[in-house]
Every structure is written in structure tokens, then in C-alpha cells.
Amino acid sequence: MKQNEAKPYSPFRAFLAKFLKQKMAVVAFAVVVAIMFVGIFGSFFAPYDPHRPVTAQYPEKGIDLDQLTNTSVVLEGVMSDGTTVEGSELTRVQVESENRRIASVRQSQRGINVNANTSGFTNATVEAGEVSGVFQVVVEGESQFEGREAVVSRLEPVHPEGVLNEGEEFQIDVTAVLTDGTEITDRGEIHELALRLYETEEEEDTSGFNAPASNAEAIEGLHFQSLNEEVAAVDENGIVTITGEGEGIILVQTGPVKSAVHVQAGGTAEPVLAYLTISEPNVTLTDIYKHQPPSSVHLFGTDHQNRDIFSRVIHGTQDTLLIGFVSVAIGAFLGTVLGLLAGFYGRWVDSLVTRMTDVLLAFPGILLAIAVIAFLGAGITNIIMAVAVFTVPVFIRIVRGSTLALKEMTYVEASRSIGVKDPVIIFRHIFPGTLSVVLVYLTMRIGVAILIGAALSFLGLGGDITAPEWGSMLSAAKDNSGTVFHATFFPGLAIVITVLSFNIFGDGLRDALDPKLKE
């Protein structure tokens, strides 16, 4: 008994206890608060200006443009005796990019410098005298890299041991290392791969465009060629026959990749350069002028005008919440007033309001909103009005319902009987009773309002399509970034998280305040 006196029943505490039981709703509430915080203060901590390309902002941020677009790879030569030579000691070095529009390459002190120009991929050839290797450059951005596959980067031949005698025969074994790191040792397989990879070579040669720097003669598959026929002859299967004394070199080639096999038939000789290794046969760089993929610098990447999507999403929170809150507030206010009047006065007021509500509710919200925009014209204010229009009947209906019930309450009849004026009864005695329902619907409708608002601006009815508003961002992404995943993904995800949080929070509020409301 005493416990009861110590803690008087508090409806608020009861509500709080019920609400806190629903863990999902509590989490959703926290997210809602966070989103509102972002909505209010977002412009202060957005890392970039949402209206300008990020490349224009790099200097202010102290980010070195070169670092992002440049990288270098280390070049080494491997001699026939297995020793390695540093790239700077190699002679007759030539580097060439297949497609300079995507990336350009040049020799540098320690190896090769790669510079990204636009998104896509290309192969680059490195030649040092007779031997050559290939590496691939991928510049990430909007391109889809369709048809991209690993090509042969280097061929590692096995050199015959010691001195060979005339008439002796041996087979050249080769390991092909691809740009993605795969190693192929089977000669037949290498041959097949080379046939497939370089089959259009001839045509490209005649067009004189995009062709690898070396070799005008047609090379098919895995090719062997002796440079010193008097010492060694080689057939198409890589079987070498020693024909005389001296030293010879057999070239092994697939497409632009060439290696040398040193054949020693009597006498002693210096080892020769056998093949080239490139430290990074698959170089990945970023196209920083458009559609940068998500990275530590740009969490959500950049859009078609190279604006930081993360900053835009943060800035857009404000507009999106504004559409949600203001439209629902207007709709709830008008709906509550009309609902109270219709419920309280009944008769023709009621039938007029109810009829109007029924007609409005028969139409899907989005079409109603579109119709309002059709009247008022495009623009963000008009979106708010449009969303408000279809929110009104929802509130009329629920407020009217609870007003009808409250009107019959004894305390209302009592105040009537002592001559309290109608406005006072409505405001002091009936309105507070409808408040919990109104509150629940307010929360639940904000989610819907945000969805419809975003849909309207997605349809281009928001006026300014360049504004950092989530719906418009998606609209712009659809038109300009059709193939880029991140440009459409993140703004939409923001909508989903926001709406989902409001919905779950609203559900929890409803269960805690008035479980009867559950459909």
C-alpha cells in the first residue's frame, strides 16, 4: 500500500517504460535524433562544398593532385644466369601505353611512371632491347571495364644448363605470368591464350592505331624464333637443334611480350638479358575528374560533376527533413482543425468534410501530390504544399474519429451543461484527448511524406535539379551516371535509413501510446 503512495502513477512514466521495452524503436529514435542533428548542423561538418567539383577544392584542403593520379612501378631485368639488373642499368628502354587517353607512361629513375588521365583500362609495353614485358593500367571511374582480362605480362624461359654440342636437341620450357599474377606453364595453354588475346593484332596493325610499338610481322600464339640460325634452329614447338658452335639467342614471344633464351654451344659468353619483371603488373589508379569511386577521401565517391556525394547527402538532409516536417505539420494542423470541427459539430459540416476526405483518400497520395504540382508548378515549396494536401485527409479521419468518441464523455457533457463555450470545450477538453493519436500519426506520416517528397523531386517536379536534395540527386544520377553504382546507391540509402527510422520509431510510439491503433 505504502509503495503506491510513494510513487504516484504517472502516465508519462508508464509510456516511457513501454517505449523503452521496444529495443528496435529506441534504436530508431536514436537514429532519428542523429538525422535531425545532421539536418540542422550538417552544413558545418560536411567535408566539401556540395556545389563545386572536388578537384577545385583539393588545393584548399591541401591534397596533392599528383599523388592521386600518379604512381610508379619498379622495372627489373632478369639475366639468363638468373641474376637481376635494376631498371636504371638497362639499355635501350622504351615504354609505350596502348591508349594514352587513359593513362600515359614514361621511364623514370627507378622504373616507370604511370599517370592516369581518364577512367578505363589500357596495357603498356616496356621494351629493353630484344625483350619486352607488359603491364596493365586500370583507371577507376565510371567505365565498366567490359572486356577487360589479364594479358601476358612476362614469359620466363628455362635456360639450358651448361654448354651444348652440335646436333643436340632440347625443348624450351616457358612460364607465362599474367598481369593478374596467374602463372601458366603448359605450352599448349599459353599458345591458346596468346591466340585468343592477340588475334586481332594484324588488323590493328594496318589501322596503325593502338598497336603495340614493336613488330610489324604477324605473330600468332606462342612463337619461337632463332636470332642466330648458324648456332641453333628452332621449330614452332620450341624444340631447339644446335647446328653449329657459338652462342645463339632464341626469342620467345606472345603478342608484344618477348623473352630471350640464351643458347651456349661451346666457348664462354656473358649472360644476356632474358626477360623483364614489372613490380606491379596491374596498376590501379583513380580518375579524379568524374565519378570517383568511394575512398577514404570521398566516402561515398563523387558524382557526374565531381561533387562529393557524402557532403551532398549531408547537406540534403536539411531539405529532405524540411519537406517531411513542414508538410506533415501543415497537413496535421489543417486535418486536426477540420477533424475536430467535423466531429464536434456533426451534421452538414461533418458530411461535407467526410465526403471530401473520402474522395481525397480514394486517390493514391503520389497522384494527388502530382496533381497539386500540376496546378502550382514545380518547386520545393509546392512539393511541401502537395504533400500537405494528401496528409490532411488522413488526419481529418483519425481526429474526427476520436472526437466523436470524446464528445460522448461525461466531462464534455458536464462542461456543456454549465455553458462552457464550444471553442473552449474543443480546445480544452477534446483536443488534448486526440493528442496521442495525432502524435503517433505525425511520426508515421513523416516517413511517407519524405518518400513522396523524394519521389516528386526525383520526377523533376522540385524545380532545381542541381540542389543537393536526395530525390534530385537520384534524378541527376539516373540521367548522368547510369552505369555508376555509388552515385545512385548512397542518396537512396540515406532515404531508406531516414524513412525506416521514422517508421520504426512511429510503430514503437504507437505500441507504447495506444496499442489499439494497430491495424
Partner 1 sequence: MLQFVLRRLIGMVPILFIITIISFLFVHLTPGDPIRIMYGAEIDQETYQTLYEREGFHDPLPVQYGRYMVDMLVHGDFGQSYRTRADVSEEVVRRFGYTAVLTILSMFWAILIGVSVGIISATKRNSIWDRAGMVSTITALSIPEFWFGLMLMQIFAVQLGWFPTSGSGTIWHLLLPSITLGFGVAATIVRFTRSSVLEVMREDYVRTARAKGQKERVVIWSHVLRNALIPVVTMAGLQFGFLIGGAVVVEQVFAWPGLGSYLIDSILSRDYPVIQALILLFSLQFLIINLLVDISYGFLNPQIRYD
What residues line the site for partner 1 (CB under 8 A)? 144, 359, 362-367, 370-371, 373-378, 447, 451, 454-455, 458-461, 471, 474, 477-478, 482-483, 485, 488-489, 491-492, 495-496, 499-500, 503-504, 507, 519
Q: How many C-beta atoms lie closer than 10 Å to residue 462's C-beta?
A: 25
Give 78 or 487: the residue with its C-beta nearer to partner 1: 487
**Alpha carbon distances (Å) from 172 to 223, 261, 428:** 11, 8, 100
State the pairing for strand pair 282-286/131-140.
parallel
Q: Do residues 244 and 257 touch, judged by C-beta distance below 8 A? A: no
Judged by beta carbon, residue 278 or residue 380, the one nearer partner 1 is: 380
Question: How far apart, in Å, are the Cα atoms of 454 and each of 84, 255, 261, 457, 518?
Answer: 62, 53, 66, 5, 27
C-alpha cell at 64: 596533392
Q: What are the C-alpha distances in Å from 143 to residues 65, 227, 297, 483?
A: 21, 42, 20, 8
Within 10 A of 328 (CB to CB), how many other CB atoms are there? 27
- What burial class does residue 448 get, using C-beta atoms within 10 Å of its C-beta: 0-12 exposed, 13-18 middle, 19+ buried? buried
Pick between residue 181 and residue 377 the one whose CB is nearest to partner 1.
377
**String of DSSP letters for 21-54:** H-HHHHHHHHHHHHHHHHHHHHHHH-SS-TTS-H
Backbone angles phi, psi at 464, to 5 degrees: -85, 105
Residue reference for cell 596498376: 283
Q: Residue 225 or 354: which CB sits closer to partner 1?
A: 354
> Closer CB to partner 1, residue 176 or residue 380?
380
Residue 286 φ then ψ, to 5°: -115, 140
Distance (Å) of CA 20 to CA 16, 36, 139, 266, 332: 6, 20, 50, 91, 26
365 or 393: CB nearest partner 1:
365
Question: Closest separation between CB of residue 363 and partner 1, Å?
Answer: 6
Work out whether the CA dihedral 13, 14, 18, 19 comes out positive or negative.
negative
What's the min distance (Å) between Cβ of 374 and partner 1?
5
Q: What Cα–Cα distance (Å) separates residue 159 from each residue in 145, 231, 236?
A: 37, 15, 18
Instruction: Output 145 or 427, the one with its CB closest to partner 1.
Output: 145
What does the buried/exposed string (b/e) look like for 149-184 if buried means 16 or more CB atoms within 10 Å of the residue's CB? ebbbbbbbbebbeebbeeeeebebebebbbbeeeeb
Of 56 and 367, which CB lies nearer to partner 1 in the complex structure? 367
CA distance 324 to 449: 5
505 vs 372: CA distance, rounded Å: 29
The distance of closest approach from Cβ of residue 227 to partner 1 in the complex, given in angstroms and rounded to an integer, is 46
414 vs 493, beta carbon nearer partner 1: 493
Q: Choose between 504 and 512: whose C-beta lies nearer to partner 1.
A: 504
For partner 1, the closer of residues 14 and 500 by Cβ is 500
- String of b and e for 34-53 (b: at least 16 CB within 10 Å)? ebeebbeebbeebebbbeeb
Q: Which is nearer to partner 1, 24 or 424 (CB)?
A: 24
Q: How far is the CB of 81 from partner 1 (least distance, A)?
A: 48
Q: Identify which of residues 243 and 354 has a Cβ nearer to partner 1 in the complex.
A: 354
For residues 273 and 81, what is the distance between their CA atoms, to the nearest angstrom?
9
Contact 93, 120 (CB under 8 A): no
